Structures are given as structure tokens and as C-alpha cells.
Amino acid sequence: MAAVNLDDTIVAVATPPGHGGIGVVRLSGTEAIAIAKPMLRLKHELQAGRAIFGELIEASEDQGSPDRIDEVVVTYFAKPHSYTTDDVVEIAAHGSPVVMRHIVEMAIARGARLAEPGEFTMRAFLNGRIDLTQAEAVRDLIESQTLYQAQVAAQQLNGALSRRLQPIKQQLVELIATLEAGIDFAEDDVSVLPAEQILARIGAVRAPLEALANSFTYGKLVHEGLTLAIVGRPNVGKSSLFNCLVERERAIVTALPGTTRDLVSETVAIAGIPIRLIDTAGIRQTEDEIEQIGIQKSREALADADLVLMVTDVSQPNHEEDQKLLAFIENRAAIFVENKSDLVAKSTSALQEDRVRTSTITGEGIAQLREAIMRNVGGEGGPAINAGFLTNSRHQGLVTQSLAALDVAKSAVAAEVPHEMILLDLYNALRPLDEITGATTADDILNLIFSRFCIGK
């Protein structure tokens, strides 16, 4: 974002582009009310926190009766009790792009500036209403594809990650303050921490930070989802299985082998995680040029997939093509599906953990297949939604940097390096955490020193 003047009053359309029943234009800044009033004819005076019905009119200096453009509902949020902590006026009109654009143009003509992308949220951050993790959660909430993603983003927006990081940062800042005090105020009889205590306190910071770093495996799945490829030789029921998981007739199903000639994909939510299902062409030896192209695409999809459903026909003996596929997906995350169980006698023997027996005709095993997918994506044992966990790679990279700096500090303590040098490593561990939640200032350190050690009384 280019450098902007945060004292300006800004305006932008707050609803998605296009036609709709309702569209909202938002103004934020000290002049929000002064700019909005001349273009409105309201039933009552604006009051903070109340929606007022009125009309949108041509803002002119003429004393005559101005023309009405639209009926509107206007809401005023008084500073600091607004999204940006500035005065905010929201004008809700009918969602015509022409009307939305005209409101913005009238506001600009009276002194507002068109907001930069993300500027309302940036102002909320710079004015201290939200921290960086909450600002990023706004974007995640808007981009959510599943209800679970939205719930996770809402928890982050409510400060779940910040609350989890805060006690970790607090312990680290307290350790830094203790070492700073021992160095700078030795004449005031502030004791210097022995090495074993420093190591213990570094360990107390590192353990919960490492647990947080480990949560990224699941958090990345929640944030980005995964790709699941359904593979197997022709006519084993891949497309029928795909339709069962999608819960509608999305792929063409016939008794003729080789029906699927191209990749068919659909995104579904399983355990709240968006999963892109790919129905692939049956893999076999064939002279059909079009089918060969489809098979090549299947192999590419198989190579790119995060998880593979390897489908076989349980009513048929093992096939050479099945063995080739098994070799191809060796060491890959895979679930083995023995389909068409309705064509064989019911087995009393227990299946292996990574195998599921299904029938797309009777529905047998479909629920168990979903559960197996959930286990593979962590849907059963993921972190509690309100516990705060890492969902984006920026946070993961910063936590990893902090852990690395703590490891360097541990080595320095073991090597009996002077405390001044250990402090550098501890500050290196603190900075990445500050980049997640916001900076720890020198005053924060000094306040801890003086409050905890009562130096100088």
C-alpha cells in the first residue's frame, strides 16, 4: 500500500461489486458526518449506533428542493466505538453500481478521498483496535470457503492466537528484563541469574512455542485445504464414489470402461476443511489417443494430490494394473477403497486401518470413508477452535525464527557466554513474535525492570 494520510476522511463501497439488493458505502474520518449530511435527507438526526431511514439526494448548494436518488438507511458509529476508531458513516442503498459510484463521487467532491485497498482495516490496526493477527483474520474470514474456516477466522479475529502468544511473550520479556537488570543495575544488588535458571526459563518459553509451531500442520489444512485424487483402473467405481462424496451426480457414470476421459473436480467440506476432489480417468494400457491423454492427466493429478483414494473392485481378482498403481503411490498418503462390496458376500474379517470397503449402490462404507479422510486431514484430533493455532505461513516462519533464536541462546548459556550476548539472542527470539502480535517497546522492558525490582524505590 502506498503511503497515505491517515488524517483524511476516506470513502469506498464496502459491498462486493455488481448488482444486489443492498449496497453499502462507508466513510471514515473526522469529516465523515460533514461530508455525508448534505447528500442525505433523514427522518431523524444521526445518532451513534442507530440506523436512520432517509433519502439520498443530490448534494448541491441550491436552496431549492433537491432531487431524490434513492431510499437509504444510514448508520453512524461515533469514535472510538467503530471499526476504525474514527467516526464512521455507512450509507445502505439499493445495490446498483451506478448508485454506489455516485455516492462515492459525491463524497469525493466534498473532500473525501477514495480509500486504498485494505485501508479501513489498516486504520483499525494503526489505531490499536486490532493487532496484526486480527487484521489478517479479517481477510481469512472474507475468503472462507467453509463454515469451519469462518469459525476459525472469527476466533482469530477475536484474538485467539494473540491470547495464546501473549503469556509466551510475557515470559520471554520477563527473562530479558531480569538479565537487563542484572547487567545494568548490579550496584543495586540485583542478583544475576545462574545458568540453570536461565536454561529453565528458556525451556518454559520454548515448550509452548514449539507446540504452537506444531499446530501449523493442521492449521495449514484448515486455511488452504487439500487435494484428494480418486484413482484406479477403469470401471472400479471411481466416478460413482466421487458422486457419493460430492452428494450429487457430478461425474458421468456408465458400465462402459473408460467413460471418464478428463479430470472432473469439485470442492467439498469434510471436517470443515475444503477438499478438492478429483475424479480421474481409469489408468490402463490403451490404444485410444483421447483416453491416453486422460490417463496422462490422471498421473499428473496423482503426483500433485495431497491424499489419494486408491479404488479397487473387490468383486474382481487382483489385477496387474492395480499392482502397478500400488507401486506408484508407495510412500504416499493414501486410503485404499475396496468398492462394489454389494457384489460379494459380507466379510467378517477386520479390514486394515487404511482400508475401507464401500458400495455406492447400498451406501455401505461411505460414512466410514469420510471418517478415514477426516483422520488423514486431522479433522478428529485438530486443536480446539478457540485455542489459537497457526494457519498461515508467515506466522509459522516467524515462530520458527523465534525457536531457532532460543536454541542459539541455550547454546550460549551452556558455553558460558556473557549475559550481554545471550540478551542479543533473546531479543532475536522476541522480534519475530512482535511481528505477529505487535512490538514490545523499550518502555515495556524498563517498566518491568522497575516494577519488579523496585530499583531506586
pLDDT of residue 256: 41
Instruction: Please state, rounded to an integer, the average pLDDT across all residues of the chain.
Output: 83
3 state DSSP class of 428: helix
Q: Looking at per-residue confidence, does 351 or 124 come out higher? A: 124
Topology (CATH) of 160-215+388-453: Four Helix Bundle (Hemerythrin (Met), subunit A) (1.20.120)
Condensed to tens digits (0 to 9), the pLDDT of residues 170-211 reads 999 999 988 888 776 555 555 578 899 999 999 999 999 999
pLDDT of residue 316: 85
pLDDT of residue 1: 53
Give the end-to-end CA distance of the chain in Å, rounded to a whole number: 47
pLDDT of residue 193: 83
Q: Looking at per-residue confidence, does 66 or 199 come out higher? A: 199
pLDDT of residue 387: 72
pLDDT of residue 415: 93
Cα separation, 70 vs 43, in Å, equals 14
- pLDDT exceeds 80 at position 450: no
Please give the grid coordinates belonging to residue 259.
Answer: 467413460
Smallest CA-to-CA distance from 306 within 282, 336, 329, 338 is with 329
Condensed to tens digits (0 to 9), the pLDDT of residues 416-432 reads 899 899 999 999 999 99
Which residues, in sequence order, are CB contacts of 342 under 8 Å at separation 6+? 359, 361, 362, 364
- pLDDT exceeds 60 at position 61: no
pLDDT of residue 454: 43
pLDDT of residue 85: 94
For Cα atoms 264, 265, 269, give the angle at the middle one, nearest 5 degrees. 150
pLDDT of residue 456: 42
What is the b/e burial string over 329-366, where b = at least 16 CB atoms within 10 angstroms of the residue's CB? Answer: beeeebbbbbbbbeeeeeeeeeeeeeebbbbbeeebbb
- pLDDT exceeds 70 at position 382: no
Whether 231 contacts 309, CB under 8 Å: yes
Which CATH class for the 10-129 domain? alpha beta
- pLDDT exceeds 70 at position 364: yes
Whether 328 contacts 302, CB under 8 Å: yes
Condensed to tens digits (0 to 9), the pLDDT of residues 254-286 reads 444 444 445 678 888 887 888 888 887 655 555
pLDDT of residue 37: 93
- pLDDT exceeds 60 at position 412: yes
Topology (CATH) of 223-377: Rossmann fold (3.40.50)
pLDDT of residue 25: 97
Give me the residue spans of the domains in the chain: 10-129, 160-215+388-453, 223-377
Q: How confident is the model at residue 2 (pLDDT cuts 50, 70, 90)?
A: low
pLDDT of residue 248: 64
